[in-house]
Amino acid sequence: MRLLPHALVGAGTLLIVLFPGPAALWLRQAADWFLLHFGRPILWGASACVVLCAVLAVIPAGRVRIGGQEAVPEFGTFTWLSMLFAAGMGAGLVFWGAAEPLIHAGQPPPGTEGEALHHALALTQFHWSLHAWAIYAIAALAVALSLRPGRPPLPSAPFPSLGPAKRRLLDWTALIAVLFGVVASMGQGLFQMGAGLEILTGQAVPDGRGPQVAALLLLFAAYAVSVATGLHRGIAVLSVLNVGLALLLMGFVLVTGSTGAILRTLAQTSIAYLSELPRLSLEIRPEGAGRQWTRDWSLTYFLWWVAWTPFVGVFIARISIGRTVRSFLAGVVLVPSLATLVWFSVFGGAALSAEAGGASLGVTDFATAPQASYALLGTLPFPVLSQALTLLLVFLFLVTSADSGAYVLGLFSRNGEPAIAERLYWGSVLAALTGAAIWSESGQSVTRAFAVTGAIPLSLLLAAQAGALLLFAFGSALPQRGERSGRQRQSSRPKSASRPVSRR
């Protein structure tokens, strides 16, 4: 019986690999149906997550420590932030850093054509900042506050009254959604790697997707090496390296680009984002072209984050033991939101400034988005070096996502710490599904459909997790359970989790 779910997932994966066209069509139809009928609940639900995070940060319950009052952090602050940032967004920031502001500036939502260019950056921030990280934080905190001695962090942890069989069903539903969400992001990253190879080599990527598949095989080989090194020396080291390279690349663009214009863009974007945030959070555009734009962008983004909540939420819960609720929310919501604000202001501001100066980056829609970062770097000094660094950064982010994703999938399937063989199995499933996605004729549209379809069942799970946190906020048993288990956890947790803070 234990191998039955693996067999079912393997059989489903085989069908998608053998018949990628019909599978892609079904996924797109399911995604379109959900976006058509549940627009307002998606938007208002994401906004409610932001409000709930703000409430939890200021009430007295914010002083509760995850894992018990005597628990200590397992990872240093920079390593912790790097791990959650790399797992939460990673390659997506490199993909969209220059692309999304350019697209929104060239093709703004219907009815906003006359607004300033910084409105495009405000829309980008709306998709990537507070709402995205608040969605992650709700899922992660609900799991983290429900941790008990000897039990792994699972999506079903906040619902002990469901019974073992129902909790396992919930965890396996989350597992399928994680597969879809990670595949969507890995497929998107591989398209960006293909665009980078095309620009660096000067040769067009053929329709057969050969370079992307070759990159996928290389990705899986690097992932296998990372798995063999373990959580501390694998994911942790990769995450710190990712963030270090990303900061280096951002600093390069800031210094060699139009620094003054970029800094002005940062200030204008901050003001525009904060001023437009209430309206964007509550108002949905009228039915027609405006509503379709909202479905294609804002609602799809929010569902993409929901699709990643079991993966990112459980992973963040696993690495956040020993931190208070208040410090957790600061690290999971505020710091990444500020980082994305700076990132998009630098890359988006540089791209918009380059086009205003007469450069043509050739980014107009979703199909041309993968080339945006490379095209921008082509207008700056040392283009080949910076483009090669970008290609490496995307690759390392994808390795981190694959490693983190396979770790969480193994955690779900084994109901405990996964062995190396278990993680390699799930890495193989991720590689096979990603290969089918990029090989289908639907191209990048199927990657979005993967994410949205995976988010459909998880929307209800996220609502239930938010309900559990509301009970916690108003004095439920959740914090008391965490406090009672603190001393027990110190004796039952692995030795590595009770050592002083690691500075690796």
Q: Is residue 503 part of a domain?
A: no
pLDDT tens digit sequence for 20-35:
667 767 777 888 888 8
pLDDT band at 15 (very low <50, low <70, confident <90, very high): low
For helices 420-439 and 164-201, the axis angle rounded to 10 degrees is 60
pLDDT tens digit sequence for 377-409:
999 999 999 999 999 888 888 887 777 778 888
Q: Is residue 13 part of a domain?
A: no
Q: Is residue 2 part of a domain?
A: no
Q: Is residue 35 part of a domain?
A: yes
pLDDT tens digit sequence for 259-295:
988 998 899 889 999 999 999 999 888 888 888 899 9
Nearest-Å Rg of the Cα atoms of the chain is 22
Indicate the number of domains in the chain: 1
Q: What CATH number is associated with residue 76?
A: 1.20.1740
User: What is the domain range of residue 146?
Assistant: 22-494
Q: Is residue 4 part of a domain?
A: no
Tokens, residue 28: 């797109």
What pLDDT is recorded for position 228? 65
Q: Is residue 9 part of a domain?
A: no
Look at residue 282 and give its three-state secondary structure.
Answer: helix
Query: Bigger pLDDT: 195 or 476?
Result: 195
406, 223 contact by CB (below 8 A): yes
What single string gives the DSSP state of each residue in 173-231? HHHHHHHHHHHHHHHHHHHHHHHHHHHHHT-PPPTT-HHHHHHHHHHHHHHHHHHHHHI
In the predicted model, what is the mean pLDDT of residues 464-472? 88
In the predicted model, what is the mean pLDDT of residues 444-457? 75
* Cross-strand partners of 65: 324
Predicted confidence (pLDDT) at residue 74 exceeds the cutoff of 80: yes
Backbone angles phi, psi at 368, to 5 degrees: -95, 0
Cβ contacts of 432-436, under 8 Å, gap ≥ 24: 432/13, 432/14, 432/17, 433/13, 433/16, 433/17, 433/179, 433/183, 434/183, 434/186, 434/187, 434/190, 434/216, 435/17, 435/213, 435/216, 436/16, 436/17, 436/20, 436/23
Closest among 183, 193, 219, 187 to 94, alpha carbons compared: 193
Closest among 132, 124, 136, 80 to 321, alpha carbons compared: 80
Mean pLDDT of the chain: 80
Q: How far apart are CA 231 and CA 419, in angstroms?
A: 11
Closest among 447, 453, 406, 404 to 189, alpha carbons compared: 447
What one-letter code names the amino acid at 439?
W
Q: How far apart are CA 306 and CA 458, in angstroms?
A: 7
